[in-house]
Amino acid sequence: MSETSSQKPVAIWLLICCATIFGMVVLGGVTRLTGSGLSMVEWAPILGALPPLNQTEWQEAFKLYQQYPEFLIKNHHMNLDDFKSIFWFEYSHRLLGRGIGLLFFIPFMFFLVTGKLNKTLTPKLVFMFVLGGLQGLMGWYMVKSGLVDNPHVSQYRLTAHMGLAVIIYAYMFWIAMELLTPKSETTMATENRKLSRFSLIISFMIFLTIISGAFVAGTRAGFAFNTFPLMDGRLIPDGLFIESPLWRNFFENIVTVQFTHRVMATVLFMLIPFFWWQAGKTITQPRTRLGLNLLLAALALQIILGISTLLLVVPIPLAAAHQAGALVLLTSSLFVSQLLQRSG
């Protein structure tokens, strides 16, 4: 049996974990968009796995929520039923996070004990598990920023939480693809080497654009300037660099935050078709050509979703689809990068 075949169950398990993380990211976006993220004001990794089970427990959870700024400043009109409607989103998000931990840890121990993991793979999987634990801590660190004076989570902590989730997803997908894709015995051609580097640059650009989108979400910049391609009737809007020092504009000034996201998306809009055209001239392998076509299709879908989300002033279903589309685009890019790296 080849090494690729023997590692196939491990790769499938990692892809299942990836799919679950994908769902986790989308659910996290919906939790934020519905204003549910601050409904659970305590972090109880073990006991918090159970929701309130009777009326008394619901009253206690609601009473606890009523002590924090989100209720006192923003949601003081809420009754218990209103509270339940936001509680379930945040609870589902946290429960799925715990579920992902078990989904990873139990099969990992099985594969480790049964000798299915080679010496190079085991440290990578341990690293994934450590990142997953840090992600849980980062999630609570993010929530805590909204439990003080201002009932709004820090855009810096939100972006760190989102960014770490994407890193875990991308790393896990990359390792799974390595296990499923046999490496060519032949030396990589010069043209393929250039395309491989180009594809990695595109993947990194997509990641940066996702990070930029997280700042758009964290500052609620998507609710401003809901026209396209102009912003407030101008291609380059006023107020881009009014904050001091200069760097704060890119993370706190909603004009600059949204403008930056638009610029980065526009760069991808030009870069990916050019890459597709360049690769199409030399790539003949059907699987890689399929990957290139999927990348181009994912870009077109994501651009449509992004513009639609903006013009319609961030409806929740479209905004969630746009967040999912970002991961689909990144996945397509990583898929192409992996195929190019492992081909001759």
The residue extents of the domains of the chain are 1-180, 187-344
Do 342 and 184 meet the contact criterion of CB atoms below 8 Å apart? Answer: yes
104 burial (CB, 10 Å; 0-12 / 13-18 / 19+) is buried
pLDDT for residue 225: 95
Could you tell me the pLDDT band of residue 284, with boundaries at 50, 70 and 90?
Answer: confident
* Residue 5 scores a pLDDT above 70: no
Q: What is the pLDDT of residues 228-276, one digit of tens each?
A: 999 999 999 999 999 999 999 999 999 999 999 999 999 999 999 999 9
% of residues, the chain, pLDDT over 90: 85
pLDDT for residue 23: 96
pLDDT for residue 230: 95
Do 305 and 321 meet the contact criterion of CB atoms below 8 Å apart? Answer: yes
pTM value? Answer: 0.94
Tell me how far apart the alpha carbons of residues 258 and 229 are, in angstroms, rounded to a whole number.
12
* Residue 117 scores a pLDDT above 50: yes
Q: Which of 319, 228, 336, 273 is nearest to 31 (CA)?
A: 319
SS (H, E, C) the chain: CCHHHHCHHHHHHHHHHHHHHHHHHHHHHHHHHCCCCCCCCCCCCCHHHCCCCCHHHHHHHHHHHCCCHHHHHHCCCCCHHHHHHHHHHHHHHHHHHHHHHHHHHHHHHHHHHCCCCCCCHHHHHHHHHHHHHHHHHHHHHHHHCCCCCCCCCCHHHHHHHHHHHHHHHHHHHHHHHHHHCCCCCCCCCHHHHHHHHHHHHHHHHHHHHHHHHHHHHHHCHHHCCCCCCCECCECCCCCCCCCCCHHHHHHHCHHHHHHHHHHHHHHHHHHHHHHHHHHHCCCCCHHHHHHHHHHHHHHHHHHHHHHHHHHCCCCHHHHHHHHHHHHHHHHHHHHHHHHHHHCC
Lowest mean pLDDT among 21-25, 167-171, 185-189, 215-219: 185-189
Tell me how far apart the alpha carbons of residues 293 and 316 are, in angstroms, rounded to a whole number.
29
Say how far residue 148 (Cα) sits from the centre of its chain.
Answer: 26
Residues in Cβ contact with 119 at an 8 Å cutoff, skipping those fewer than 6 apart: none
Q: Which of 264, 256, 289, 277 is nearest to 210 (CA)?
A: 264
Q: What is the pLDDT of residues 177-198, one digit of tens each?
A: 999 987 765 555 677 789 999 9
> Could you tell me the maximum CA-CA distance found in the chain, to the nearest angstrom?
69
| Mean pLDDT score across all residues of the chain | 93
Angle CA 333–334–339, to nearest 5: 100
* Residue 47 scores a pLDDT above 70: no
Q: Which of 252, 254, 45 is nearest to 132 (CA)?
A: 45
* Residue 101 scores a pLDDT above 80: yes
Mean pLDDT of 30-47: 87
pLDDT for residue 6: 73
The residue assigned the tokens 């769902």 is: 23
Could you tell me the pLDDT band of residue 323, with boundaries at 50, 70 and 90?
Answer: very high
